[in-house]
A and B are shown apart, each in its own frame.
Chain A
């Protein structure tokens, strides 16, 4: 359980951390699960290792060396510099775009999911069952299936080929809403809200001062989900965007990759690989920093107290 060892100074201790530790030594090792976990570990790490190793190679080195080991020349820094400066530094522009989409899209989606989930969990209103049915139904519909209808709708509104065409659909996260709903129901005792009301706290004050802190682990979980989804979003921007100045990293890297298949195009496999490495770094960092919150978020509600 890496979360129990990774501590960041100055951060509040995660909620469930202390309850895990005493349990640990009591677990007995099972060879089968160890092997299975090992296989999964290798399976998930090999592509990462490949990416790191190959980001250190030049274009020529890529073709003349074994894929899972280093070539004679170590060109990582040169590759990074080339990636950041190729085509007038368009990579940085794409990086900024992706950040914009993530901050507004994933941030907004999380915000809406918190509001909606909290409202559904803690307030009674007519038609609640219908809302529930629609949310559950929406979870089942893959975003890919909605991309083309969304495109046609947006193009009538004149929104295609603008950042809004990527941000607005990203704001809708049914799964996040569902998660916040169940989390709110578990994490916030209704008695606490009643007590707050008795003491004369308004609903907004109660929400921001009492409920929101209690929801923190759930919020981080939803934030991570939506962040990953938005960061890796490919199909929606592919359909919506034409102007490469608004591309997110996923589309930009694909365009670089396609250059190799273009008459007169410049093959830049080394930059595509290095660019991919740079693209996943922020996500890796986000996960390492936030994973302990995520863990407690996922575990919440699993134990009746």
Chain B
């Protein structure tokens, strides 16, 4: 359906849509539902009733999911629109919410950004719509990430338990073992750079998502949020554990000055000048399509540990599908979200290369036994699923994390380009965030 057609619909049939939703409601009560919860949605009748929803998402595997969903539910039309990746989409979403028009029925929102939209009451609580019964469906990290207060503000779509992706050829050539602790990692970094001055163990020019995930694994809890009260503290033990090691990597110039996702990055991953990636479990698909020239060279191992013998990991990236509060078709929207993230859509997305957040898929034999040709036949998912189970609990983001990440490079990022240290950079970040939080009406560090 074309946008023009849709606009005409929106203009003329706004009320029609609303009444559709209403009749869907009454339909479910007529059908008797049978569930104890009076508000619980009878998904089948909502789908039978049909309608039209708009989905804003950049996740590529959703295209197949939408096609299957529409085939199974002929009365439903799903308009999947890629409005931009990450921040671009959040800006568009916030614009639409502010304008009160053009808000999608479903939006992809990364875990770190969920609290920001949830606390502004921009998202529908999915608990009463049926998400309340999904306890145990998802791994703990993502499942807690979509919850805020008593509400469930999205269903986890994918997850990014971290692992160490490394170029086996580089390690073989230099003759060092793949590091299992961060101390060994530092040693390996020195060895790799010494063997070839153009080669680095990793790239890093300051990346908020990576830094916070590293602090997460190290046991730091810089953000503690309870309603509108919070503390922001980048001096706790876990944080300093991370900065101590990472500062040495920066000082000794052992990190490639290349930003992630740039073309130089893809080049470095392909020619061996970037030897490892400590990154989320969604990375295999990107390596396969973006770095085909290095096929067979990469492997995956457990994330290096802070204490040898430990098995701690953290989440890096990953996103949920949420239903904006302004959606006029929340029940149908939820039916789609449930299909995509907890129903048949999950397998479709796994087949398309996505890394799921559902325990059933993660633990399935078929999933774990899959041999990745790109990774020299390694059963990569086994390592990654293990990582998903070992994510350290208790991490929180501030409810203005999108803003926080946007000023990361002005503060912490300075440590990579000037004489500022990571600790000083984090202190500056903290100061800005405390000031911003106060301005926004939160009670910070009091």
Contacts and interface: CB of A to CB of B under 8 A. Distances in A.
B9 to A, nearest CB: 11
Interface string A129-172: 00000000000000000001001100110101111000000000
B81 interface: yes
Given A158-B10, A161-B7, A63 B293 contact: yes
Contact of B61 (A160, A259, A264): A264
B354 A258 contact: no
A246 interface: yes
B289 A63 contact: no
Interface in B80-112: 81-85, 88, 92, 95-96, 98-102, 104
B376 interface: no
Given A63-B270, A263-B317, A258 B4 contact: no
Contacts of B102: 155, 160-161, 242
Contact of A264 (B2, B60, B88, B263): B60
Interface stretch (B279-287, B303-311, B326-334, B409-417): B279-287
A181 interface: no
A62 B85 contact: no
A263 B82 contact: no
A206 interface: no
B34 interface: no
Interface residues of B, number: 51
B75 to A, nearest CB: 22
A148 B92 CA distance: 11
Contact of A255 (B82, B96, B101, B160): B82
B95 A267 contact: no
Given A63-B263, A162-B3, A246-B3, A155 B100 contact: yes
A265 B4 contact: no
Interface in B292-331: 292-293, 317-319
B353 interface: yes
A243 B4 CA distance: 10
B352 A267 contact: no
Contact of A151 (B95, B283, B292): B95
Contacts of A60: 270, 292-293
Contact of B99 (A155, A243, A258): A155
Interface in B119-137: none
A64 B83 contact: no
B59 interface: yes
A245 interface: yes
Q: Which of A243, A259, A263 has the most CB of B within 10 A?
A: A263
A269 B263 contact: yes
Nearest to A160: B102
A244 B160 contact: no
Contacts of A246: 3
B166 interface: no
A59 interface: yes
Interface string B154-179: 00001010000000000000000000
B79 interface: yes
Interface string B51-94: 00000101111000000000000000001011111001000100
A262 interface: yes
Contact of B101 (A158, A258, A265): A158
A284 interface: no
A260 B285 CA distance: 11
Interface in B325-363: 352-354
Q: Which of A63, A258, A264 has the most CB of B within 10 A?
A: A264
Contacts of B79: 243
Contacts of B99: 151-152, 155-156, 160
A161 B56 CA distance: 13
B224 interface: no
B267 A161 contact: no
Contacts of A259: 60
Contacts of B27: none
A262 B58 contact: yes
A265 B60 contact: yes
Contacts of B263: 62-63, 260, 269
A245 B83 contact: no
A158 B293 contact: no
B271 interface: yes
B286 A264 contact: yes
Interface in B2-16: 2-4, 6-7, 10-11
B58 A265 contact: yes
A264 B270 contact: no
Interface string A221-262: 000000000000000000100111110000000010011111
Contacts of A72: none
A260 B260 CA distance: 10
Nearest to B110: A263
A244 B58 CA distance: 11
A286 B426 CA distance: 52
B4 A163 contact: yes
A203 interface: no
B286 A267 contact: yes
Given A239-B95, A267-B286, A269-B263, A245 B2 contact: yes
B113 to A, nearest CB: 14
A266 interface: yes
Q: Which of A63, A163, A255, A261 has the most CB of B within 10 A?
A: A63
Nearest to B288: A266
A260 B2 CA distance: 27
B286 A63 contact: no
Nearest to B289: A266
B372 interface: no
Interface string B367-409: 0000000000000000000000000000000000000000000
A52 to B, nearest CB: 18
Contacts of A258: 58, 84-85, 88
Closest 10 CB pairs of A and B: A267-B290, A261-B261, A155-B99, A263-B282, A63-B267, A243-B3, A155-B101, A266-B289, A264-B285, A60-B293
Interface of B: 2-4, 6-7, 10-11, 56, 58-61, 79, 81-85, 88, 92, 95-96, 98-102, 104, 158, 160, 261, 263, 266-267, 270-271, 280, 282-283, 285-286, 289-290, 292-293, 317-319, 352-354
Given A151-B99, A239-B95, A260-B290, 19 more contacts: A62-B263, A63-B266, A155-B101, A242-B56, A246-B3, A255-B82, A260-B261, A260-B263, A262-B58, A263-B285, A263-B286, A263-B318, A263-B319, A264-B60, A265-B60, A266-B290, A267-B290, A269-B263, A269-B266
10 contacts: A162-B7, A239-B95, A242-B56, A244-B81, A258-B84, A259-B60, A264-B158, A264-B352, A266-B60, A266-B290
